[in-house]
């Protein structure tokens, strides 16, 4: 029987890692991810997992060791946050281009400086073009579920792509919530035994990883990588269908919430999607036609699903918990806006940057935002495209 538990997000992710029982975990602690590494290392010392735990001296080495282990044929996992992810920078691209199915938990935290330990998405959004699949979690339950699905997605024979599973630092990682967890053997059956395709340790069939690849073949390799990402959405959905049979919980690439008849909507990812759903519930009781679209999978970018979900709306606020400093909105805004421009009558789109460095975003903030959107429907005047929610400007 699945078990009801009370856990923090970090505990839930560490539990998922215990149940996955990877061959190798190489990780370096950083707030707010630290507990994942701490709890998992106690699973190792208590012999609850068979994992070779590599205590590296930095995140660059954590990812490098994960790459080495994965290329050797191991199921390898790691976890990081913020500057730790930034320090992995050059090697995360290598993990993706070598097609190594590493699964990494990213506990979202603002990048310095100034130094800040709290949540925003500047860390994982910075890695959006690295070739990793990115799955964002709304709460501890989703973080747990996404970690387990992440293994099946990463290791799919047509993909062989690394997967980042994110959750919001502190807001989810350090908050106790209810969740349902699966039995160990059910997780073991779901992820199956890992059968690496071209392991370095298969000395009967020697292979080379990461050789010099100039203008003769580099482009073809990149094209294949892009092709894997192109079909990844379908595979992520198939894995979600299988996971639903096991868990009863349903997942898509995006999650529409009261969009059918909505006039205005938010597009949001991470924990704020939950707060925004609570706002929609409240406004719907008043008869307001509001909705929201949660993006679960940001890489690959689910443009078909987004176009389908947002058609017919009048005004859409696209929320970014990071700034791109392009002076034209955040990364989620730019991609969502670009996707829906293909609609015959695209909705008015606004970019809202919010919650940087952990700035709290509450019911009142989002109710105010919906109110602003309704005013735009009424007046037909979109006003400023780029807006900042919940910041002191004077």
Partner 1 sequence: MPKVIEIRWHGRGGQGAKTAAELLAEAAGAADKYIQGFPEYGPERMGAPVVAFNRISDEPIKLHCHVTNPDVVLVLDSTLVGKIGVTDGLREDGILLINTNKSPQDMRNLLGSIGKVFTVDATGIALETIGRAIPNTPMLGAFIRVTSLLDLNFFIAHTKEELKKKFKGKGQIIEGNLEAIKRAYQEVEGE
Q: At its nearest, how many Å lie between partner 1 and the CB of residue 4?
A: 8
Is residue 174 within the footprint of partner 1 (CB under 8 A)?
yes
Does position 139 interact with partner 1 (CB under 8 A)? The reply is: yes
> Which tokens hold the place of 181?
């967890």
Contacts of 182 (CB under 8 A, 6+ apart): 2, 19, 148, 190, 246, 247
Q: Is 249 a residue that touches partner 1 (CB under 8 A)?
A: no
Binding mask 178-207 for partner 1 (x = CB under 8 A): x-----------------------------
- In the three-class reduction of DSSP (H, G, I as helix; E, B as strand; rest coil), residue 117 is classed as coil
Q: Which is nearer to partner 1, 29 or 131 (CB)?
A: 29
Shortest Å, Cβ 359 to partner 1 = 10
Q: Among residue numbers 278 through 307, which ones bind partner 1 (CB under 8 A)?
A: 278, 281
Q: Does 34 bind partner 1 (CB under 8 A)?
A: no
Taking the least distance from each CB to partner 1, the nearer of 220 and 360 is 360
Collect all residues with Cβ–Cβ distance below 8 Å to 40 and sequence separation of at least 6. 14, 17, 18, 25, 27, 49, 51, 53
Give how far Cα 320 sits from Cα of 95, 122, 330, 358, Å: 27, 9, 5, 13
320 binds partner 1 (CB under 8 A): no
Q: Tokens for 217?
A: 């073949």
Residue 341 per-residue DSSP state: T
List Cα–Cα distances, 39 to 8, 18, 134, in angstroms. Answer: 12, 10, 24
Give the range of 45-53, 81-89, 129-137, 172-180 binding partner 1 by CB under 8 A: 172-180
Query: By rule CB under 8 A, what string of x and - marks binding of each residue 250-279 to partner 1?
Result: ---------------------xx-xx-xx-
Instruction: Give the interface segment with partner 1, choosing from 176-184, 200-208, 235-243, 370-378 (CB under 8 A).
Output: 176-184
Choose the stretch contacting partner 1; rule: CB under 8 A; options: 84-92, 186-194, 261-269, 361-369: 361-369
Is the backbone peptide bond immediately before 32 cis, with ω within 30 degrees of 0? yes
Closest to partner 1 by CB, 6 vs 226, is: 6
Q: In what order do the strands lie in the sheet with 348-354?
A: 254-257, 290-295, 264-268, 315-320, 348-354, 386-389
If DSSP codes are grouped into helix, strand and coil, which group holds residue 306? helix
For the residues of 279-296, what is the DSSP string, one character each? HHHHHHHTT--EEEEEES
For residue 391, state whether it binds partner 1 (rule: CB under 8 A): no
Closer residue to partner 1 (CB): 18 or 118: 118
Q: In the complex, what is the shortest distance from the CB of residue 235 to partner 1, in angstroms, rounded to a whole number?
A: 29
Alpha carbons 41 and 325: distance in angstroms, whole number: 38
Number of Cβ within a 10 Å radius of residue 281:
12
For position 177 contacting partner 1 by CB under 8 A, the verdict is yes
Nearer Cβ to partner 1 (18/109): 109
Residue 274 tokens, joined: 């939950």
Residues near partner 1, by CB under 8 A:
4, 6, 117-118, 138-139, 168, 170-172, 174-178, 271-272, 274-275, 277-278, 281, 360-364
């Amino acid at each position: 029987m699945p078990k009801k538990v009370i856990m923090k997000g970090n505990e839930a992710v560490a539990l998922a890692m215990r149940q996955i029982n990877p061959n190798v975990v190489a990780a370096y602690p950083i707030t707010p991810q630290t507990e994942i590494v701490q709890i998992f290392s106690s699973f190792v010392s208590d012999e609850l997992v068979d994992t070779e735990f590599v205590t590296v001296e930095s995140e660059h080495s954590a990812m490098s060791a994960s790459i080495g282990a994965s290329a050797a044929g191991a199921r390898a996992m790691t976890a990081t946050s913020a500057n730790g992810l930034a320090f992995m920078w050059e090697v995360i691209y290598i993990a993706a281009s070598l097609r190594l199915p590493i699964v990494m938990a990213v506990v979202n935290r603002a990048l310095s400086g100034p130094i800040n330990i709290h949540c925003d998405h500047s860390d994982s959004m910075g890695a959006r073009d690295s070739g990793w699949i990115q799955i964002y979690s709304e709460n501890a339950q989703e973080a747990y579920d996404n970690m387990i699905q992440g293994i099946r997605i990463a290791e799919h024979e047509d993909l062989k792509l690394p997967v980042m599973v994110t959750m919001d630092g502190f807001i989810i990682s350090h908050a106790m919530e209810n969740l349902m967890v699966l039995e160990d053997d059910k997780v073991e059956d779901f992820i199956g035994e890992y059968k690496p395709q071209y392991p370095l340790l298969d000395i009967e069939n020697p292979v080379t990883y990461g050789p010099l690849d100039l203008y003769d073949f580099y482009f073809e390799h990149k094209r294949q990588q892009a092709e894997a990402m192109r079909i990844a959405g379908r595979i992520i959905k198939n894995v979600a269908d299988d996971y639903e049979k096991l868990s009863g919980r349903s997942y898509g690439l995006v999650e529409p919430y009261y969009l059918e008849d909505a006039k205005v909507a938010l597009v949001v990812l991470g924990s704020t999607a939950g707060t925004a759903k609570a706002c929609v519930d409240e406004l719907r009781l008043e008869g307001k036609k509001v909705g929201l679209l949660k993006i679960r999978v940001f890489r690959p970018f689910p443009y078909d699903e987004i176009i389908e979900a947002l058609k017919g709306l009048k005004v859409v606020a696209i929320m970014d918990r990071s700034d791109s400093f392009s002076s034209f909105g955040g990364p989620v805004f730019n991609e969502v806006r670009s996707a829906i421009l293909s609609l015959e009558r695209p909705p008015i789109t606004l970019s809202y940057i919010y919650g940087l460095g952990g700035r709290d975003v509450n019911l009142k903030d989002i109710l105010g935002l919906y109110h602003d959107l309704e005013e735009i429907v009424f007046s037909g005047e979109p006003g400023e495209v780029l807006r900042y929610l919940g910041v002191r400007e004077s």
